[in-house]
Amino acid sequence: MKIPQRKISQIFNFLHALSEKKTKFPKDFLGFSTKFRKT
């Protein structure tokens, strides 16, 4: 199942915005999302 790249980046931008507001996200997930965004 292929997800459109634009949709993925929208989701990660949203998650990143949430993480910057210091929501209660698991740290390993935040580490994953930052690693994902850098690639």
Give the pLDDT of residue 36.
63
Q: 8 in helix, strand or coil? A: helix
Residues in the chain, pLDDT under 70: 1, 3, 19, 21-39
Contacts of 34 (CB under 8 A, 6+ apart): 16
Interhelix angle 27-38/5-20, nearest 10 degrees: 130
What distance in Å separates the CA atoms of residue 19 and residue 5, rounded to the nearest whole number? 21
Return the H-helix or E-strand segment holding 32: helix 27-38
Give the pLDDT of residue 22.
61
